[in-house]
Amino acid sequence: MPDNPVEMKAIIVIKRIVAFLLLSVFLSFNVLASEKIYVFFPSNINSQSMQDKMTDIIKGVNITVFGKYNEFISRINSEPPDAVITKTMLVKEQLGNYEIQLNGERKGKTVESYVILSTGEQFSVGSVNSETVIGVLDIMGRTGMSTFSKLFFPIQPKLKRVSKLEDLLSLLSFDMIAGIMVEDIFTEYFKATSQMQFNITPLKNANTGIVAFAVKKGGNAEKTATYLKNNEKRICDLFLIEKWK
């Protein structure tokens, strides 16, 4: 340590300046840190393609698209994002820390209905029993999907959960299930993909939200919200909607 008081004073000033600069860099880094958005929306588009398209359009936002429910939920718990884009019922049932700011709309509605696709004999909800096996896209995990299916069936069937739409077709093709329960929007996908003759049975009590943009409570995801509100077709198409509202 220097003995000269002037030198000591100079050192103190320099230290303060350095500290101030470091603090400024730290603060500015936090301000400039990009929003972190997690997306989970099972469809016929694989998660990597969806992520590439979204990242291409929504600049300056850190977007991760998940292909599986388990991975999505696990990451939210370990590294919570600023916001999520996912099925509405998943936000409402399992993501209590997130508040819905925008809902996806299709043909003037923010809700959609479910159907059962089957082959062979016409499917009947009344004939479902505890041994009936229904294939479903895993949107809410084992317990969540079980609870969800109770909305439609007086007697709870067994569920075979899969992560991808095409896996549901495999279940039908190999006669492993009585039918597949999907959002009605996906009926055309199966008709286009398969040459099998499908029976379509609409399900009652089945209006659930299409997709939601939900922000962490007390948090902020303004940049993403702004992009979504622009209702760019390329983004809306990824979620099979016409606009966000």
Partner 1 sequence: MKCALLIVLLLNCFIQAQDTEYLNSENDQVVIFATKGSIFDQARNGLVNEIRDDFSVSVIEINENTSIGDIDSVIDSYNVPKAVVLIGNNAIRSYVKYANQNKQKTKSIQVVTILALDVQRAVSGIENVNAIAYETPMLTALVSFRRVFSKPVDKVGVLYRNPLKQFIEKHTHYCAREKISIKGIEISDDTSKIELDISSALQNLIRTEKVDALWIPNDNVLLKPEYLGNIWLPELKKKKVPLIVGVEALVNPELNFGTFAVIPDPVALGEQAAEIVYNLKADDWQHSGVMIHPAISMYSVLNLKKAYEIAAKEDFKTYEVSKILKK
| Residue of the chain from 193, 220, 226, 230 that contacts partner 1 (CB under 8 A) | 193
Cα separation, 201 vs 181, whole angstroms: 9
**Interface characters, 142-181, with partner 1 (x: CB under 8 A):** x---------------x-xxxxx-xx-xxx-xx-x-----
- Determine if residue 130 is left, alpha or beta; phi over 0 gives left, psi from -120 to 50 gives alpha, anything else beta: alpha
Q: Is 56 in the site for partner 1 (CB under 8 A)?
A: no
Cα separation, 214 vs 204, whole angstroms: 27
Positions 86 through 145 that interact with partner 1 (CB under 8 A): 142
| Residue of the chain from 154, 195, 218, 233 that contacts partner 1 (CB under 8 A) | 195
Q: Is 182 in the site for partner 1 (CB under 8 A)?
A: no
Whose Cβ is closer to partner 1: residue 196's or residue 225's?
Answer: 196
Q: How many residues bind partner 1 (CB under 8 A)?
A: 26
Whose Cβ is closer to partner 1: residue 43's or residue 113's?
Answer: 43
| Residue of the chain from 113, 187, 194, 199 that contacts partner 1 (CB under 8 A) | 194
Whose Cβ is closer to partner 1: residue 83's or residue 198's?
Answer: 198
| Separation in Å, CA 237 to CA 20, 56, 124, 168 | 47, 14, 33, 22
146: which 2 tokens? Answer: 């079980």
* In the complex, minimum distance from the CB of residue 120 to partner 1, in angstroms, rounded to a whole number: 10
Beta pairing class for 133-137 and 179-183: parallel
Q: Is 46 in the site for partner 1 (CB under 8 A)?
A: yes
Q: Is 206 in the site for partner 1 (CB under 8 A)?
A: no
Cα separation, 79 vs 82, whole angstroms: 10
Cα separation, 151 vs 33, whole angstroms: 42
Sign of the C-alpha dihedral computed for residues 81, 86, 91 and 94 taken in this order: negative
- Determine if residue 231 is left, alpha or beta; phi over 0 gives left, psi from -120 to 50 gives alpha, anything else beta: left
* In the complex, minimum distance from the CB of residue 222 to partner 1, in angstroms, rounded to a whole number: 29
Q: Is 49 in the site for partner 1 (CB under 8 A)?
A: yes
What is the binding site for partner 1 (CB under 8 A)?
44-46, 48-50, 70, 142, 158, 160-164, 166-167, 169-171, 173-174, 176, 193-196
